Amino acid sequence: MPVMMRGVLVLLLASAVPQSKTTSPSAAELIGTWRGTSICTDRVVAPACTDETAAYDFTPGSKPGTVHWIADKVVNGQRVRMGESDVTYDTAEACWKTEIKGPRSTSVWCVSVDGAHLTGAARLLPGNQTFRKLDLRRQ
């Protein structure tokens, strides 16, 4: 087979093979201000949990591949700081992820972006029980 034909055949075969998403999406998809709901899903594992209106700011992180997350709840029209953390993209879970260690518990937060829509969940460790669902829109 001539060299040129082999090159065309290789190109056609390579384009027919589905490509897995093993690379991280750009942090730009997450950067910005998001507002929506943070709803409790399991009050047995998280009895103090309360449903909230959430306002999140994501900015470039200080390390490559990170995004800085400032999480606020909205009370009487005012933002109240809940915490902040750096998130990194986890290809296995296909989400921007962080682990937050508190005085009484550790949780894993995982958020995903689809255009102007951010969804996610928080799980308690070590049992991995989902106790919070997030649904926000880009502002």
Query: Is 105:124 a contact under the CB 8 Å cutoff?
Result: yes
Q: Looking at the 3D structure of the chain, how many domains does it have?
A: 1
pTM listed for this prediction: 0.82
| 16 is a domain residue | no
Query: Domain residues for 111?
Result: 22-138
Tell me the pLDDT tens digit for each residue of 15-35: 444 444 457 799 999 999 999
Per-chain mean pLDDT for the chain:
88
Residue range 70-99, pLDDT digits in tens: 999 999 999 999 999 999 999 999 999 999
Model confidence at 1, in pLDDT bands (50, 70, 90)?
Answer: low
Within-domain flag for 3:
no
2 contact partners, CB below 8 Å, separation of at least 6: none
5 part of a folded domain: no
Residue 109 counted as domain residue: yes
* CATH code where residue 40 lies: 2.40.128.20
Q: Which amino acid is at 81?
A: R
> Is residue 60 in a domain?
yes
The predicted-structure confidence for 108-134, as pLDDT tens digits, reads as follows: 999 999 999 999 999 999 999 999 999
pLDDT in tens, 32-49: 999 999 999 999 999 999
The span from the first CA to the last CA of the chain, in angstroms, equals: 57
In a domain, 85, yes or no: yes
Residue 104 covered by a domain? yes
